[in-house]
Amino acid sequence: MHDAIDRKRFSSPRLQIRGFTLVELAIVLTVIGLLVGAVMVGRGIIRASELRSVMTETSSYVAAVNTFRLKYHSLPGDMINATDFWGAADANPATCLTIDKTGMTQTCNGNGDGKLNIGPGRAEIFYLWQHLANAGVIGGNYSGRVGPHGPHNPAYGLFVVPGYNVPGSKLKVGAAYSFRERGLNNSENDWFYGEYGTILMLGMAMNSNNLPRGPLLAPEEMYKIDLKIDDGLPGQGSLVTRTNRNPDTPFCTESAPGLADDTIGTNLDAVYRLSDKELRCVLIYRNFFE
């Protein structure tokens, strides 16, 4: 008797599981769509803020260098009497170059020629950040030397290490700023032709190079920054990038409409490849100290 009642109870139509109606499905899909849209909008806002930080960071370095030069009458990194102010990490310049100066103010002198040099016996592009920090015009604590396995053991790379010998960037972990004397380019097709003087490059740090030349920005992002502070052209003005002949960042640029897609150093009418949404570009401020 009880078994019959139980079977009747659990077979009642009112207790059977039913599917969603079309109206209910529509409501669920609408809610999901709104959530996805909110996430995408949020990501866009975050990325826009990150891109604005590029201009803020760069402006802070311009101000820091100018403040340093007014105070010490010298270019940071190139300063010939830096050890008079902060002490010598080592009296021998060749040894001073190799010392990790993180956590100390003792430093090395530059050669005072008005340029930032890198090479045998000299690492002025890395002294620069330590000098700026010693002067209190930027935050951070920098080693004032090449990264592990730098030019003293070039088979292993790691010249630029963000947070160690150069500043990083809010854009991405591994992104770095680095100065370098570039001078005039009228022969290398992976750089647009023109006078570069001292450059400040922002890109991803890569092994075996003293510039962070790895791709960091999508062409459209690079274009928006360029248009806001310069002329919107990748090969002209004070803000530029590299040509498609550069193997580290191909497809950032293309020739102007109606011309061949490839760009070389002489193609100063090149434009950004706005249809490409991948990270393709590095950011280069040239003639930084003019």
Domain-embedded: residue 124:
yes
Model confidence at 278: pLDDT above 50: yes
- Supply the pLDDT for residue 39: 60
pLDDT 10s digits, 109-147: 999 999 998 877 778 999 999 999 999 999 999 999 988
- 14 domain residue, yes or no: no
Find the distance separating the first CA and the last CA of the chain, reported in whole Å: 100
Rounded to 5 degrees, what are φ and ψ at 246? -75, 120
Q: Is the pLDDT assigned to residue 80 strictly greater than 90?
A: yes
% pLDDT > 70, the chain: 82
What was the pLDDT predicted at 106?
97
- Is the model's pLDDT at 17 over the cut of 60? no
Token duo for residue 234: 């990748």
Asked if the structure places residue 93 within a domain, the reply is: yes
pLDDT at position 111, please? Answer: 93
Could you tell me if residue 5 is inside a domain?
A: no
Backbone angles phi, psi at 95, to 5 degrees: -80, -40
**Strand runs labelled E in the chain:** 118-119, 122-123, 168-169, 172-181, 184-185, 194-195, 198-204, 239-240, 253-254, 271-272, 283-285
Q: Read off the pTM.
A: 0.81
Does the pLDDT at position 156 exceed 90? no
Given a cut of 70, whether residue 7 has pLDDT beyond it is: no
Q: Of 100, 123, 145, which residue constitutes the final position of a domain?
A: 145
**From CA 81, how far away is CA 87, in angstroms rounded?**
10
**Which region among 8-12, 74-78, 110-114, 254-258 has the lowest average model confidence (pLDDT)?**
8-12
Sign of CA pseudo-dihedral 48, 50, 55, 59: positive
Among 90-94, 119-123, 132-136, 277-281, which is the least confidently predicted range? 119-123
* Residue bearing the bigger pLDDT, 241 or 209: 241
Domain count, the chain: 2
Same domain, 211 and 288: yes
Q: What's residue 171's pLDDT?
A: 87
Q: How far apart are CA 270 and CA 233, in angstroms?
A: 7
What confidence score (pLDDT) does residue 154 get? 46
Q: Whole domain around residue 83: which residue ranges?
A: 53-145
- Mean pLDDT in residue range 147-164: 66
CA distance 171 to 269: 28
DSSP 176-189: EEEEEE--EESS-T
Q: Are residues 114 and 186 in the same domain?
A: no
